[in-house]
Structure 1
Amino acid sequence: MTALEILNAMKSDKNCILWINHERREAAYHDGQYAVPVAFNNAVLVRSDPAIQIIEKRDGEILQAA
């Protein structure tokens, strides 16, 4: 998924989350039913959007759209 696809999906469905682990440089997108790995750089780009908030820090960051 591209950063734009992830961002649009997260903003359209508030149940979607993004997990980023900066130490291992891994990321995954979860749509509420399935989790798929995504490119780390795309996830970091999505994280920079002001509408995305950190909701939990466990084994990395878990982010959700506000």
Structure 2
Amino acid sequence: GEFTMIELAKEILDITGSKSKLVYLPLPKDDPTQRQPDISLAKEKLNGWEPKVPLREGLVKTIDYFDTLLKKQ
């Protein structure tokens, strides 16, 4: 489903346990009010592919991946 950038940021803060504060700034005049990527090419080339991983699950996997990379440095 769809989610706002605020919801995304709050989800990341929750998953990571970060104490970071969100800073709300005015949007630039040319900023799109809705972001919706076009996945039609992926659907076409990957035989009807559809995203199936829930947001939180995908974020957890992504954060774990980068955490592992950082620990290797």
Give the TM-score, by structure 2 length.
0.24
Higher relative contact order, chain-length normalized (CA < 8 Å, sep 6+) = 1
Larger Rg: 2
TM-score in terms of structure 1 length:
0.25
